[in-house]
Each structure stands twice: as C-alpha cells, then as structure tokens.
Amino acid sequence: MPIKRRDKGVNEPEQAGPTKTVVILGVGFSGLTALKKIEAKISKNDDVGITLIDQNNYFTFAPLLHQVAVGALHPWDIVAPFRTLGLKEKTTFLQARVARIDLEKREISTTSGIRHYDFLLISLGSKTDISGMVEADNAQNVFTLKSIEDATAIKNRLLFLFEKAASEDNPQVRRELLSFTIAGGGYAGAELAAALSDMVFECAVKSYRSIDPGDIRINIIEVKDRLIDELPEKYSGYIAKHLKNHHVRIMCGARVTSIGKSWVEINGNERLPTNLLVWVTGVVANPVISGIGVEHDELGRIFVDDYLSLPDHPEVYIIGDCAHYHDEKTGQVARPRAHHAVRQAKTAAENIMALIEGRPRKKYKYSDSMVIVSLGRTNALFRFGKYWLRGLPALLIWLAAYSLLSIGVKNRFLIDVDWILSRVFGPDMAVTVSEVNSGKEKTKEE
Ligand SMILES: Cc1cc2nc3c(=O)[nH]c(=O)nc-3n(C[C@H](O)[C@H](O)[C@H](O)COP(=O)(O)OP(=O)(O)OC[C@H]3O[C@@H](n4cnc5c(N)ncnc54)[C@H](O)[C@@H]3O)c2cc1C
C-alpha cells in the first residue's frame, strides 16, 4: 500500500509562525511540568507557540537512577521520549545543546542554530562538579549519578568487579576489587548506599558463590558531621543506623582529598582501596547559566524574585535546580529537589500565561512539607508536615509515590513490573559494557 504524504500541497501558502514564542530550555521535572501547564492553558486561537529544547529527546526520572545502578530497574523504565508524551500541535521539540543565552537580544545559541523567544523558561537543572579531582588514569573508577548513562555505567562497573573478583586468587586483590565508595552522604548518597548494600549482600553473593561476603566493603564519605544533615538529628541517626546494620561503613567529617586508580584518599592521611567511586556530592547549577550577566549564588544558581522571574526581565523565568529562591517567611532557600522544581514550574507557567493574557502575576508560595528517603528493599523514611513514618509503611508510600509520579502509563507499568520481578528473580546482573567486551582489557599475548 502506498504511503500517504502528510505535507500540504505545493501551492498552499506557508503559514506564518505564532506571534508569541515561549521557549523552554531543559525538559526535566520543571520544564516538563511548565510545558503541560502552558499547553493546557493555551487555546486553539491563542497566537502562542512553544519551543522545547533539550540535549536528550527523553525525560529522565532522576530519583530512581539509583535503582538502575543496582539493577532493580532497567534504564528504559525511567526514561520517557518526549515525542511519545502527547505534545500538542503548538509545541515544537528541538534536540540540541544550549550553549549561550542572550537576554538583551532575546536569543539562544544552540548546537542547532539560534532561536528567539518572547518568554523564556530556564530549567536546565544541575550538574555534579568533580573538577580537579579526576585525572585520565583514574577516570574509569569514578562515576557521577546524574543520567541514565551514569546509572548504567555504575551497574556495569559493579558487576564487572564481581566477575573479576570471582576468579581472583589473591585475597588482597579480591578485597580491593570488592571495595566500593560513595562520596556524599546526602539524599542520593544514602539511598544509593542502602540499595547497593541490599543488592550486594542479599542478591549478588548468592550468584557469586566463590565470593566471601566478608571481603566486600561499602563506604560512604560525608564532609559534614552526619548524613543528610538537613534532617532532624533523630532521623539522620535512623538512616545511619540502618546503613551500619547493612554493613555500610559511614565516615562523617571526612573529605576526599585525592583519587587514585584504585583508591581514594581521605583527609589527606588515609587511603581506602576503591575500585568504584560514585560521586554524588558537589551539585552546582548548570554551567550554561553562568554566562548570563545577572547575580548568581555560590552554587551558580540565579537569584529570582517572588514571581520566579529575573527582577529586570519579567519575561525570563528560572526554575528548579537553576534557581536561587529565598523564602522570606521561613528564611529557607529552596533546595535542589524535584518537588520544588514541579511546584515552581506551575507558578512560572501561570505567570507567563498571565503576561500573555494581560493579567497580574502570582507570587510563588514556598512549601517544604514532604521528605521521602528510600533505604533499600525493606525500609524508608517519610515525612508529611510534622508526621514521620519509617519502615515498611514508609517504603510502601515510596514505592507507590515514585511509580505514580513517573511519567506516562507505560513507565509506571514497567517500574511496577520490574520491581516485582527483581524481588522475585533478583536484579539484572548483565555486564553489557566492560573492559573485556570493549576490547580495552588485553590478553597476555596482546
Ligand atoms: C540520583 C538523584 C536522585 C534524586 N532523588 C531525588 C528525590 O528522591 N527526591 C527529589 O525531590 N529530588 C531528587 N533528586 C533531585 C531532582 O532530580 C532534581 O532536583 C530535579 O530533577 C531538578 O529538576 P530541574 O527541572 O531543575 O532539572 P532536571 O530535571 O535535571 O532537568 C534538566 C534538563 O535540562 C537538560 N539539559 C541540561 N543541560 C542542557 C543543555 N546544555 N542543553 C540542553 N538541555 C540541557 C537535561 O537533559 C534535562 O532534561 C535527585 C537527583 C538525582 C541526580
């Protein structure tokens, strides 16, 4: 059957573009929420177009990256291609990397050329700053946990080390191969440590029978004097106790001073053998925004006003991990968390629509009523308002919340099914890329 073309006839006049263009840079938690909100508000007759720009053509559900890193979920469970998310007719997606933003000319330089805007929403997220720490010869052992590629690489490295250790005769070398370290005892570090411990001690050791669990080390290094120090002491103590009971060595008040090929140096005087170092600290705003000539804080975030816009540019909104929002009432600065990103996106989208429709804008209402921390396969910590839950009830809330909050019915389904399958049959233990199958590891003859 011939394929029908969707183009208009050659004689049909080119349609003029919309007179007002909203450009959204970065389609993560905040960008995607803002898009949905604006799409819902513009009617067919509104002369408004939306351009989305992201370096990836998919959304990543970052709070579940650690589940991919330990093989409990597959990479495709937690990513959703934008083009399958039902983008409306007035929305255009451009896969490109944003390089520069010029507020005066109202233009954005990207790897696919220049784009102009009438209203701009900057939601480019954050990155892990590990500059100065990683040299070429130790890079193979050092990982960040920001993207689906990072999570997959961690899983591959972890299981590759198990494969090497399983056939290693020298006990000292075997112990070194099985030494894993997490730098950063915030939310991401604590969640990863708990998941890693369960994966290693409850699952991997059953499949790698030649490995003595006593040879495995998991360290977590935190520069502050306790884990997740923004939590009340009682609950950060609860997390520390859970991790200790699950064979995680906690080193608080410790700073990584140097990284070697198979070690990490602490406070300039102690070397821990480490063949897998996951760096989850040092989160800074996306460096792309550093070139914008406005005031930034020490983490590179841009100071925004009560409407989440730039004080001198009401047409430019900064949200999520890129924004420094200071709440007058509580004296707090919104932390780089997904729920803040989502709430800010709703206000910013509403304000852009208000400007388009000539209505007064709304001030952002800050709220930090919820905390949720997963602690492996059996435990979690949950706060709503002043109420705290821990143990199985908190874990069930975490499971339900994170499968429901993920984007799209297909992803929710995949997450739920894979969680059940990994509980029943164990995590995914395939090493899909390693030094062996990539040809980097040589035989003696080579
Ligand atoms: C491992 C991990 C676990 C986390 N767990 C939790 C949790 O349990 N609860 C919680 O509330 N928060 C959690 N967070 C934090 C949360 O994910 C972030 O606060 C949230 O994603 C910030 O949303 P955002 O919209 O600002 O940025 P993001 O969601 O990161 O989106 C940024 C987007 O910008 C795109 N982008 C970046 N640079 C460019 C460029 N130059 N050009 C084009 N596109 C670009 C990216 O591809 C991405 O799509 C976690 C984060 C991580 C990394």
pLDDT at 185: 97
* Average of per-residue pLDDT across 35-58: 91
CB of residue 74 inside a 6 A radius of ligand 1: no
All residues at 6 or more sequence positions from 381 whose CB lies less than 8 Å from its CB, including other chains: 235, 238, 239, 371, 372, 373, 375, 388, 389, 390, 394
The answer on pLDDT for 341 being more than 90 is yes
Please give the sequence-ordered ranges of beta strands (E in DSSP) within 57-128, or none if there are none. 58-60, 79-81, 91-95, 98-102, 107-110, 113-116, 119-122, 126-128
Cα 164 to ligand 1 centre (Å): 34
Whose C-alpha lies nearest to ligand 1, atom 7?
63
Instruction: Tell me the percentage of the chain whose pLDDT exceeds 70.
Output: 93
Whose C-alpha lies nearest to ligand 1, atom 3?
63
The answer on pLDDT for 9 being more than 70 is no
pLDDT at 36: 96
- Residue 63 has which token pair? 């709070």
How do residues 280-339 score in pLDDT, each as one tens digit? 998 999 999 999 999 999 999 999 999 999 999 999 999 999 999 999 989 999 999 999
Which pairs count as long-range contacts for 306-309, CB under 8 Å and 24+ apart, including other chains? 306/363, 306/364, 307/347, 307/348, 307/351, 307/361, 307/362, 307/363, 307/364, 308/344, 308/347, 308/348, 308/351, 308/364, 309/348, 309/351, 309/361
Count of residues for the chain?
446
Cα 437 to ligand 1 centre (Å): 31
All residues at 6 or more sequence positions from 66 whose CB lies less than 8 Å from its CB, including other chains: 145, 151, 188, 191, 192, 195, 196
CB of residue 336 inside a 6 A radius of ligand 1: yes
How do residues 120-143 score in pLDDT, each as one tens digit? 999 999 999 887 777 766 777 999
Whose C-alpha lies nearest to ligand 1, atom 44?
54
* Average of per-residue pLDDT across 418-432: 94
How far apart, in whole angstroms, are the C-alpha atoms of residue 249 and residue 403? Answer: 30
SS3 313: strand
What is the number of the ligand 1 atom nearest to the C-alpha of 124?
34
pLDDT level of residue 403 (50, 70, 90 thresholds)? confident
Please give the sequence-ordered ranges of beta strands (E in DSSP) within 270-356, or none if there are none. 270-273, 276-279, 283-285, 302-303, 309-310, 313-318, 323-324
The answer on pLDDT for 433 being more than 70 is yes
pLDDT at 407: 85
pLDDT at 13: 47
CB of residue 346 inside a 6 A radius of ligand 1: no
The pTM score is 0.94
How far apart, in whole angstroms, are the C-alpha atoms of residue 312 and residue 345? Answer: 20
- Residue 124 has which token pair? 């480019």
Cα 62 to ligand 1 centre (Å): 6
Cα 320 to ligand 1 centre (Å): 8
Whose C-alpha lies nearest to ligand 1, atom 5?
63
Cα 12 to ligand 1 centre (Å): 42
All residues at 6 or more sequence positions from 190 whose CB lies less than 8 Å from its CB, including other chains: 220, 227, 228, 239, 243, 373, 375
Q: Are strands 119-122 and 20-25 parallel, antiparallel or unpaired?
A: parallel
pLDDT at 23: 98
Q: Are strands 179-183 and 283-285 parallel, antiparallel or unpaired?
A: unpaired
What is the number of the ligand 1 atom nearest to the C-alpha of 341?
23
Whose C-alpha lies nearest to ligand 1, atom 20?
338
All residues at 6 or more sequence positions from 174 whose CB lies less than 8 Å from its CB, including other chains: 165, 168, 211, 215
Which residue reads 């004689």 in tokens? 11
pLDDT at 364: 97
How far apart, in whole angstroms, are the C-alpha atoms of residue 67 and residue 151? Answer: 8
Nearest to 79 by CA among 99, 94, 59, 93: 59
Cβ atoms of 86 and 428 closer than 8 Å: no
The H or E element that residue 266 is part of is strand 263-266
CB of residue 121 inside a 6 A radius of ligand 1: no
CB of residue 30 inside a 6 A radius of ligand 1: yes
How do residues 221-280 score in pLDDT, each as one tens digit? 999 999 999 999 999 999 999 999 999 999 999 999 999 989 999 999 999 999 999 999
339 — phi, psi (to 5°)? -70, -30
CB of residue 97 inside a 6 A radius of ligand 1: yes
What is the number of the ligand 1 atom nearest to the C-alpha of 64?
3
What is the number of the ligand 1 atom nearest to the C-alpha of 286?
38
pLDDT at 45: 66
CB of residue 343 inside a 6 A radius of ligand 1: no
* Average of per-residue pLDDT across 31-46: 89
CB of residue 282 inside a 6 A radius of ligand 1: no
SS3 207: helix
CB of residue 145 inside a 6 A radius of ligand 1: yes
